[in-house]
Amino acid sequence: MERYTKYQSYPTMAMTDRTWPNKTIDKAPSWCSVDLRDGNQALETPMGLDQKLAFFDFLVKMGFKEIEIGFPAASETEYEFTRVLIDQNLIPDDVTIQVLTQSRGHIIKKTFEALEGCKNAVVHLYNSTSTLQRDVVFGNSMEETTALAVYGAKLIKDLSKNYPETNFTFEYSPESFTGTEMHYAAEICNAVTEVWEPTPDNKIIFNLPATVEMSTPNVYADQIEFMCRHLKHRENIIVSLHTHNDRGTAVAAAELGLMAGADRIEGTLFGNGERTGNSDILTLAMNMYTQGIDPELDFSHIDDIIEIYERSTRMAVPQRHPYAGDLVYTAFSGSHQDAIRKGMERMKSEPKYWGVPYLPMDPMDVGRTYDPIIRINSQSGKGGVTFILEQNYSLFMPKSFQKDAGAVITQISDEMQSELSPESIYEIFKKEYVDIRTPIRLVQYRTETVDAERDVLAIEAEVIYNEETHFIEGEGNGVVSAFCHGMEELLDISINIVNYRGHSLDLGTDSRAISYIETKDGNGKRFFGAGTSSSVGRSSLRAVVSTINKMLLTKED
């Protein structure tokens, strides 16, 4: 990596009075999807006609009002797609299609032919303006480059008069804007403005693309603010951004560009585009959503968006993609899991604002469920295990029980070297704690009150121990303590109840109950067990039997 000196850095502009750092985004911009042009031309296997039609329809349903459909003069495929949309009346009246054209006469003329009969259309003119493109690719001076833009602008204006049935909007892009001298970028745009003569009722669009992302996002924001200050008739101009992701900061550049005064965003779903991609509209819009701003696009069923995107592009959405990835609402770390569980519990009290640690947004807002939020592996802890068992199986363990179950289950995950599904976690929990009936099994029992004033209860129980039937008796201040006293006499062990809790597993009069017992033997070692039954009393005694069996099995080991 010693060859870094051949690259140059791009300093901020000499703009000491820049205002964008003190601004925030407070409303959604106008959105223009370029999935069917920029996105499509970046695919190894471009979409066919049927795929394009399905994708267009989906974009409309999401709420896009402007959709760039292609470069109709560039190929018969794109020309045909334009005509099918128009001839089959597939474009809603409130949706505007956008088409791309170079500043070349025959291309502009064919573009208008492709649009015949369209109700609303943006004709997007572009030519390269950067120093590098002028010098290396075209060998043009600034004057020649401006003349080319003005030529295209005049021809577009003249030809549009031949199609009175269409409501045209004109758009111009100084391609490779970020590599263009800013004073010259303003100069060429102003030359186009003089041709198109925008008004409040007939605005034009200047799209200022980071065709190649060359600098940090703050430099791009400076460039946008500079342009907003130097464009003539700014009030009649829609400033549009089209950022690319060569440096991995297309979304950040777009956000700062909006703060700097832009009105409109061109981008693609999941940032699909040439090289490292375009600005990701989904991420941009959802970033606004999580700041309490209506993005004016519908991402409430994000899995449907993923499905059509992956089917159409044959590319996969990364697991860590913001908002849409399979793992973005997942926590593996035990401390994170515990914090999420507590935050989710707090949200039941319906506070004014969402506030769950490690979850900046509610997954349900994009059609996800809480099931995959916490997944268990060797890095997990009691919080994660507890959340899974609470959310999926309505098991509400005491805290000390949570800690023991968390340690047991994550150890098993570690030994297996794999993640555990909720079903696996539940099966492990049952095996390790619930209704353990070897070597002791409770057959039946009967209780009676001995001293109501002192809450003394007596129990007679039949148990099977090592395949032999035994009858025990005991007294205590409840069914659990009475049973433990009887079992102590039978087994000659010490059983001290440390914690007991029980609750219903289901709603209704026929619901089953579960009881959790924590006991301590004569040496102070703690054991945990659970029992289930339609009877609360029987579930508590089965829980005691589970802990006693664990004591006995530990002794044998």
Burial class (CB in 10 A: 0-12, 13-18, 19+), 514: buried
- Give, in order, the Cα–Cα distances in Å from 2 to each of 10, 214, 216: 20, 20, 22
> Comparing C-alpha atoms, which of 140, 234, 144, 226 is closest to residue 185?
226
> Comparing C-alpha atoms, which of 344, 434, 428 is closest to residue 385?
428
- Give, in order, the Cα–Cα distances in Å from 249 to each of 122, 241, 253, 516: 28, 14, 6, 52
Name the pLDDT band for 309 (thresholds 50, 70, 90). very high
Helix or strand holding residue 148 (H, E) = helix 142-160
**What is the percent of the chain where pLDDT is above 70?**
98
pLDDT at 387: 82
Name the pLDDT band for 382 (thresholds 50, 70, 90). confident
Name the pLDDT band for 418 (thresholds 50, 70, 90). confident
> Comparing C-alpha atoms, which of 29, 41, 34 is closest to residue 55?
34
> Comparing C-alpha atoms, which of 341, 346, 325 is closest to residue 376?
341
What is the CB-side half-sphere exposure of residue 232 using CA atoms within 13 A?
13
Lowest mean pLDDT across 88-97, 133-142, 370-379, 468-477 = 370-379
Tens digits of residue pLDDT in 517-549: 999 988 889 999 999 999 889 999 999 999 999
Instruction: Report the alpha-carbon distance of residue 223 to residue 255 in Å, rounded.
Output: 13
Instruction: Report the alpha-carbon distance of residue 379 to residue 374 in Å, rounded.
Output: 12
Asked if residue 143 has pLDDT above 70, the reply is: yes
DSSP code, position 187? H
Name the pLDDT band for 142 (thresholds 50, 70, 90). very high
Instruction: Report the alpha-carbon distance of residue 456 to residue 443 in Å, rounded.
Output: 23
Asked if residue 109 has pLDDT above 90, the reply is: yes
**461 in Cβ contact with 441 (< 8 Å):** no
Asked if residue 386 has pLDDT above 90, the reply is: no
What is the C-alpha R_g of the chain?
34
- Report which of residues 505 and 106 the model is more confident about: 106
pLDDT at 10: 83
Amino acid at site 99: V
Tens digits of residue pLDDT in 321-371: 999 998 898 887 778 888 888 998 899 999 999 999 999 999 999 998 655
- Torsion, CA 48, CA 51, CA 53, CA 58, rounded to 10: -150
Instruction: Report the alpha-carbon distance of residue 43 to residue 70 in Å, rounded.
Output: 14
Instruction: Report the alpha-carbon distance of residue 307 to residue 317 in Å, rounded.
Output: 9
- Report which of residues 455 and 279 the model is more confident about: 279
Mean pLDDT to the nearest integer, 33-39: 97
